[in-house]
A and B are shown apart, each in its own frame.
Chain A
Amino acid sequence: MSRNRFMLVLGVLVVASMILSACGGGETPVATPVATEEPTPPPVTRNGAWVDRIVFTGIDQAEAAVTQLQAGEIDIYAYGVTDADVFATVKADPNLAYTTAFGSYTEMTLNQAGPEFQDGRLNPFYSAKIREAMNWLMDRDYIAQEIYGGLAIPKYTSLNSNFADYARYVDTCRALEAKYAYDPAKANEIITAEMTALGAELVDGKWNYKGAPVTLTGIIRVEDERSEIGEYMAAQLESVGFTVDRQLKTMSEASPIWVRSDPTEGQWNFYTGGWITTAVSRDDATNFGFFYTNLGSGAPLWQSYVNDPAFHNEEGTGVADRLWVNDFTSMEERGELFAQALELANMESQRVWLVDQISFSPQSANLEVTYDLAGGVAAAQIYPYTIRFKGQEGGTIRWAQPAVLGDPWNPIGGSNWVYDTSVYRATTDYAAIADPYTGLAWPQRIESATITAQTGLPIAKTLDWVNLEFADEIAVPADAWADWDATTQTFIPAGDGVTALLKSTVVYEADLFDKMTWHDGSPLSIGDFVMAMIMNFDPAKPESAIYDEAQVPSLEAFMSYFKGVKIVSTDPLTIETYVDFYYLDAEANVWAWYPNYSYGTASWHALTLGIQAEADGTLAFTADKAEANSVEWMSYISGPSLEILEGYLAADVAAPIIPYAPTLGQYVTAEEAAARFANLQAWYDAHHHLWVGTGPFYLESVFPIEGSVTLARNENFPDPADKWARFAAPKLAVVDVTGPASVTIGTDATFDIFVTYEDAPYPQAEISSVAFLLFDATGNLVAKGEATAIADGQYQVVLPTTGLAAGSNKLEVAVTSVVVSIPSFGAYEFVTTAP
C-alpha cells in the first residue's frame, strides 16, 4: 500500500516537473560565445587598505605556524624562516605560498694576528695566502645545498648578490666567482707552501710547529645553521692537516672572545660570522673598509688588521679608503675602484664569504602581500598598502609572528623590536616610501623634489620624480634653522657664509593639509612638521626639560653633516634641507620631512603628553632615562604609563597648551590646540590608548597579556587602495640565451638573448644593463661586454671567436633591471672548433 502511494507521489512529481520545464523559460537556449578576453576589472573605489582588519598574534615556532596555516587558522607567518624541512612542507602544499628575503649572510672570520700568538703558538691565518686559500677550501655549493637545504646562494665577496652593487659590478663578481670556485687541491698546495715557509712541518699528515700540533680554535655559533657550517669548516681544515679545537658557543658566549679579546692572545683562530641587512642596500662602498680594515670598528679584532697599502693605508689613498669616503667623481671611477677592491679584498680575506642566506615567510596562497627583498614582509614599508586577499576587498587577515609587543611603544625611544615595528608601521604614512625591490624612494606625499648637489659629486638619478641639478657652491640661507636653543626654545639660524654639499628641496602635495588627518580626526598641520624638527634636537640638549643623554650620540652624528633646514612655504608646504652628506642615488638624498620619528609616528599634540610627563620626571621616552630616573619607560598603548599620560591629557583638554610655544606657537593656534586635545580625549575614551597615526590602519585594540593586537582600516585614508598595486610582486626577469652550438674559431658568432617577465617581453626602458661574460673551457673569463638591444626583451651578442681555444665555452648573460635590484642570469654553452 505504502509502496503504491510512494510510486504515485513520485509519478506526480515527474509529470509536474516535465510540465514545468516545458512551460518555463520561453526562450530556447542559445549557445553564447565564450568570452576570449578577460573582462576589464571595475575601477577600484576603495580607499586606504584593501582589508578591514589585521589581527596580530604570536607563535614561537615556525613548524607550529605552518601547521596553523595549513589548518586555515592564520593567513601569514611574517617571519624569516630558514628551516629547510619547513620550506619543503610549504612548497609541497598547494594552499600555501611564500615570499623570500635575502638579508642575512654568513662568513668565516679569521684571526690575522701573528705569525705567533703571545704564547708562541703559530697562527696560520697570519698568512694572507692561507687566508685566501680558504676560499678554495670551502665548498660554498655544499653549504648552500646541504646545510641550508637550498635556502642560500654561494657568496664570494662582501656584496650581497641581490643588491644594487652586485648588479652594477656583476662582471667582476662573476669573474671572481669563477676564480674562487671550490678547489681543495689548490688550497692544499698553497697551504703546504705557506706553512712550510712559516716553519711548520707535516708529521703523519698533521701540521706541527715547534714540536706541537698546529691547533686551530674555532668559535662556532650554535643558534643556527652556523653550527653545521663550523663543523664543516673544521672538517675541511682537518683535511689539510690542521688540528681543530671546536668551541661551540652562543652569541653571548662568543662575543667576548671574538669581538673583545686581544687577537694576539690566540683565544681563537676562526669564527662563524653572521651579518644581517634589513633593507635593500643601494651603496655597499663602505663594506671594504668595514669588513677588512681598522676603519670598521674600534674593537680589538678590527684594530689588529694589517692591509696591503693598495687596499688601505693611513694616508687614506687605498681603494677601500677612497670608497669609504666616496672619493671618486663618476660612477665609472667608482666601478674601477670596486673592481680593484673586490679583487684585493679576497686576497686579504680576513673574512671568507660563504653564503647569502634566503629566508622565507609562509602564507596562505590566497594572500597577496608586498615584501622587501632584504627584510621580508615584516620590514617592508609598503606592505600595509598592498596586503589583501586575492581579488577581494575587505576581510580580516590573521597575521602571526614569533611575538607581539616586545617593548613599550613611544615614537621617540620606544620599541625597536621587529615584532613591534611590523605592527606600528601600518599606522604610519610617509612623505616618501621605499621601493621594496630596489631600495629607491617613491613620492607618497610629495609633489616634486629637486636635489642640488655640488658639482663633481657622483650622484645620479633613476626615477623621474626627482630633479637633479649641480651647482659649484650651495649657500645655506642665513635664516635656515641650523641648531636648537633649548633655553629660548627657538631655532638657531645658520648665519652667513655657510655652504653645504647638497640641498634638497621638497614640495609637498598641495592638498596635503586638507586630505590628511590623524586617526583621532585632527587634520595634519604644519605644526606636526615643526614639532618633528624640534624633537630632532631638543631631547639631546642639556638645557632642555627633557634632556636625555641617550639621545646625544644620534644628535652628534646628525650635526656632523646637517647644515640647516628652511620652511620656504606652507602652502604648498615646501622645505629646503642643507647637508654635507650624500648618497649616490638622487632619490635617497630627498629629505622627506614628515612627523615620523625613530620609533613610530606622532602628532604634535600626542607627543605633548609625553613631553610633559618626561619634563615632570614621571615617565621617560628612552629605556636609558627610565632606568636612570627609576620611572616607567613610556608606552602610548598600555601599562602604567597610560594612566599618567591620561592625566596630562585631561589637564590639556581643560587648559590646552602649545609646547615650545616660542617656536611652535607661530604655527599652531590656540583653537587648533583645543580641538586636537579634545579629539585625542575622545579617541582615548573610545580606544583606551594614545597611539595615533596617519597611516592606512589605526590601532584598534591591544591585549598585551593575551598577546594580540588588532589594526583596523583607516577609512579616512585618502589614497585609492590600488595606488601601490604595481609592487604586488618583484619583476624578476627570465633570461634565455640561444645561438649556434658549434662555432669555428675565427668566425663571428651571434647569440640571441630573450628577456621576459611572465612570458611577456621585459620593456627595454626597465632594463639597465644586459651584460655578457664569456668563459673558456678552463673557466677563465676571456671576454665581457654589453649586449645590443634589438627590441623590447630582445638583445644580441656578436662574439668574435678569434683567440679562443678549441673546446667548450660558456656565455653567461647578466640582466639588471631598473625596477628590481636582483640581477637575472642566463647561460649558453657552445663549442669552438679549429678552422
Chain B
Amino acid sequence: MSEEPEVLQPKAGPALKKKPQSTFSRVARYTFVRALTLLLTVIVGVFLTILIANMGGYLDEIRRGTIQETYTQAAILNPAIKNLSPEERQAWIDENVQLAYKRYGLDKPFMVRTLRFLTDALTLNLGRSQNMSSDTGSRQVRLIILERIPPTLILFGTVGFILFFVELFFALFLSRRYGSVLDKVIVTLAPMSAAPGWFYGIFLILIFAALLKVLPFGGMVDAPPPPRWSLEYFLSLLEHMILPTIAIAANQVIISTYSWRTFFMIYSSEDYVEMAKAKGLTSRNIERRYVLRPTLPTIVTTFAFFIIGVWTGAPIFETVFNWPGLGRQIFQAVGLFDIPVIVGETVIFSYLLAITLFLLDFIYALVDPRVKVGGQGGAQA
C-alpha cells in the first residue's frame, strides 16, 4: 500500500500567468513614479527651507526690529533729521520704516509670502534679493548666483575634476601594489585629511605668500586685474590657483586615493579577477574589464555628486583664499537673512540633486548590464 505523499503546500490553483510587461511601459511607469517622487521631495525640501530660513515667521519680528533700529540710528546720524521737531522726525522715521516694510514684503501675511516664494522657486522664477546685490550690482537672484558660478567652477570644478581622476587612477595603481612603500606612505598619510582644506590654506599662505613672498595671498587675479581674456589674466589666474589647489589636494587626495584603493582592492580579489589573471590577461585588460567596469556605478555616482557638490562651494575655504565663490555668497545670504537668495540657491541645488539622482538610475543601467530600470528583483535601479 502506498499512499501519496502528503502535500504540505497548498495546491496550486490554475496558474495566473502574469502578462509580461513591455520594456517601454516598465521604463515609462518607473520614470513617472520616480520623477513624481523626486518632485515631491524637492517641493517639501524647498518648503522646509523657506520655513527654516524665515525661522517659522519669527524673522519678520527680527526684520521689524532691525528696520526700526536702523532708522532710529539714521535719524541721529543725520543732523538735518536729528534737529527736526519730534513730530517731524518721527514722521520721517515712520515713513521710512513703512517703506522698508513694503520692500521686505512685511506688509503681507507670512504664509502668503511663503507660498509665493515656493511657487516662484519651483518655477525657477528666482526673483529679486532683499539685501544683497550681485557683484555687478544687480538685485536679480539669478545674476547673483550666475556671476559666482564661473569662479567656483574654475577653482573647485577644474581642480576637483583633475584631482578626481588623478585619485582614481593613482588608487587603481596602488591597488595593484598593496603593501608597497608607496602604498604604506599613503596609508600613513591618510589622517592628514582630517584637517580641512582651509587649515592647510592658512599655512600655505603664511609660508608661500607672507614668508617667501613667491605666491599671492589670495584673490582670483592680481589687483588691478590684467585685461580680461588676455594671456596675463590667464597666467595671473593660474598663479592664484596654485595655493588653493595645493590646499584642496592636501585635504582630499590622500584620503580619496586611500578610499578608492581599498575599494578597488576588494574588487581586485574577486574570483573572476583571479580567473582572469590565471588566464594570463594583461594588467591593463584586467583593470579595464574586470575591475573598473563593475565599479563604474560607484565611480559615476561619486563623480556626479562631486559635480553637484561644487554648487555648494566652501565658505571658509573661499574666505581664507579671498575667492569669489558661491560658498561665501550663500554664507553672506544666510547672515543677511536674504531669503530669496537662500531659497534660490537651495532650489537649484535641489533640482540638480533630483535630476542627478534621476539620471543616475538610467546611467547605472547603461554602464552595468546587471541593472534593469524598473526591474523586479535582482539588481535594479
Contact = CB atoms under 8 A, between A and B. Distances in A.
Contact of B217 (A71, A283, A701): A71
Given A639-B134, A706-B324, A708-B225, A260 B96 contact: no
A703 B225 contact: yes
The 6 A-B pairs with the shortest beta carbon distances in the complex, nearest first, are A255-B65, A639-B136, A408-B137, A256-B65, A635-B137, A704-B135
A632 B217 contact: no
Contacts of B91: 553, 556
Contact of B73 (A256, A275, A298, A703): A275
Contacts, number: 188
Interface in B186-218: 205-206, 209-210, 213, 216-218
B137 A409 contact: yes
B322 interface: yes
Interface in A677-705: 701, 703-705
Contacts of A257: 65
Nearest to A554: B92
Contacts of B116: none
B217 A623 contact: no
B217 A64 contact: yes
B220 interface: yes
B102 interface: yes
B90 interface: yes
A638 interface: yes
Contacts of A561: 80, 84
A260 B65 contact: yes
Nearest to B323: A707
Nearest to A701: B224
Contacts of B220: 705-707
A181 interface: no
B137 A259 contact: no
B225 A58 contact: no
Interface string B54-66: 0000000111111
A624 B133 contact: no
Interface in B148-181: 148, 150-151
A31 B66 CA distance: 74
Given A406-B133, A408-B137, A635-B137, A60 B322 contact: yes
B53 to A, nearest CB: 13
B128 interface: yes
Contact of B65 (A259, A277, A297, A556): A259
B190 to A, nearest CB: 30
Residues of B in contact with A, size category: 35 or more
A581 interface: yes
Given A71-B209, A640-B140, A704-B137, 4 more contacts: A278-B77, A298-B90, A556-B88, A560-B88
A71 B210 contact: yes
Interface string A658-688: 0000000000000000000000000000000
Interface string A384-417: 0000000000000010000001111100000000
Contacts of A252: 62-63, 65-66, 337
B147 interface: yes
A719 B231 CA distance: 39
A64 B320 CA distance: 9
B137 A255 contact: no
A277 B210 CA distance: 35
A275 B90 CA distance: 19
B80 A557 contact: yes
Contacts of A757: none
A73 interface: yes
B81 interface: yes
Contacts of B77: 276-278
A44 B76 CA distance: 42
Interface in A522-572: 549-550, 552-554, 556-558, 560-561
B285 to A, nearest CB: 47
B95 interface: yes
Contacts of A96: none
Interface in A47-88: 53, 55, 57-61, 64, 67-68, 70-73
Contacts of A68: 210, 217
Contact of A581 (B80, B99, B147, B225): B80
A252 B337 CA distance: 10
A256 B99 contact: no
Contacts of B93: 297-298
B139 interface: yes
Quick one: which of A326, A553, A558 has the most chain B CB within 10 A? A553
A557 B88 contact: yes
A494 B84 CA distance: 22
Interface string A601-640: 0000000000000000000000110111010110101111
Nearest to A56: B223
A286 interface: yes
Contacts of B64: 256, 260
A632 B140 contact: yes
A255 B224 contact: no
B80 A407 contact: no
B40 to A, nearest CB: 30
B213 A71 contact: yes
27 contacts: A57-B219, A60-B319, A67-B205, A68-B217, A252-B65, A253-B62, A255-B68, A260-B64, A407-B137, A549-B99, A553-B99, A556-B91, A556-B92, A581-B83, A626-B139, A633-B139, A638-B135, A640-B138, A701-B224, A703-B225, A704-B135, A705-B148, A705-B151, A706-B220, A707-B220, A707-B324, A708-B225
Interface of A: 53, 55, 57-61, 64, 67-68, 70-73, 251-257, 259-260, 275-278, 283, 286, 289-290, 295-299, 324-326, 398, 405-409, 549-550, 552-554, 556-558, 560-561, 581, 583, 623-624, 626-628, 630, 632-633, 635, 637-641, 701, 703-708, 710
A286 B65 contact: no
A701 B138 CA distance: 18
Interface string B85-109: 1101111111110010011000000
B216 to A, nearest CB: 8
Contact of B136 (A254, A553, A635, A701): A635
A252 B58 CA distance: 11
A257 B143 CA distance: 35
Contact of B83 (A286, A623, A627, A637): A286
Nearest to B336: A252
B96 A553 contact: yes
A560 B84 contact: yes
A550 B99 contact: yes
Quick one: which of A55, A254, A277, A639 has the most chain B CB within 10 A? A639
A639 B137 CA distance: 6
Nearest to B82: A286
Given A73-B217, A277-B77, A581-B83, A706 B225 contact: yes
Nearest to A408: B137
Contact of A407 (B103, B133, B148): B133
B257 to A, nearest CB: 31
Contacts of A254: 65
B232 interface: no
A57 B84 contact: no
A567 to B, nearest CB: 22
Given A71-B213, A252-B66, A259-B72, A638 B88 contact: no
A232 B135 CA distance: 41
A624 B69 contact: no
Contact of B224 (A407, A640, A708): A708
